[in-house]
Amino acid sequence: MAHTLEFYYDYGSPYSYLADTQVEAIAKRAGAALMRKPMLLGGVFKATGNASPMAVELKSKWSSFDLPMWARHYGVPFKRNPFFPVNTLALMRGAAAAQIDGTFERYHPAVYKAMWVDGRNLNDMAEVAAVLGEAGLDARKIGNRIQEQDVKDRLKATTDEAVARGVFGAPTSFVDNMMFFGNDRLPFVEMALKGDLK
198: in domain: no
Domain hosting residue 87, numbered range: 4-193
154-170 pLDDT, tens per residue? Answer: 999 999 999 999 999 99
C-alpha distances out from residue 146 to 66, 101, 127, Å: 34, 12, 16
pLDDT-based confidence at residue 56 (cuts at 50, 70, 90): confident
Number of structural domains the chain divides into: 1
CATH label of the domain that carries residue 53:
3.40.30.10
What was the pLDDT predicted at 2?
A: 72
pLDDT for residue 1 is more than 70: no
67-93 pLDDT, tens per residue? Answer: 999 999 999 999 999 999 999 999 999
